[in-house]
Amino acid sequence: MSEKQLDAQYYAKLEGLQQLDFALVELTLYLDTHPNDLNALQQFNQLAQQRQHAAYQFEMQYGPLMQFGHSYSRFPWQWVETPWPWQV
């Protein structure tokens, strides 16, 4: 396995993104059964914006998180590069 070197900040940044995404998963499921909760919806939209920014920063440094056009790629095609999630 030819894993590229991950810098010291990798795990902290990954965890930051996982925290944001977790809050968004929780709010999504909550809103699925409480669609009229305006406070929760405002929190959701605010975190969604934060998430977009954090994911962009992460991807600039460590490569695309999503494909099918949801993330950009440098040359050569970065999607196929390691590490995959179970390798870190």
Partner 1 sequence: MWVYDKKLQYPVRVSKCDPMMAKFLLEQYGGADGELAAALRYLNQRYSIPDKVIGLLTDIGTEEFAHLEMIATMVYKLTKDATVEQLKAAGLGDNYAQRDHALFYANSSGVPWTASYIQAKGDPLADLYEDIAAEEKARATYQWLIDMTDDVDLQDSLKFLREREIVHSLRFREAVEIIKADREQKKIF
> Residues in the site for partner 1, rule: CB under 8 A?
11, 14-15, 17-18, 21-22, 25-26, 28-30, 32-34, 64-68, 70, 79, 84-86
* Nearest-approach distance from CB 5 to partner 1, in angstroms: 18
* Nearer Cβ to partner 1 (49/80): 80
* Nearer Cβ to partner 1 (39/85): 85
Q: Say if residues 37 and 30 touch (Cβ distance below 8 Å).
A: yes
**How far apart are alpha carbons 76 and 56 in whole angstroms?**
19
Measured in residues, the chain has a length of 88
**How far apart are alpha carbons 23 and 30 in whole angstroms?**
10
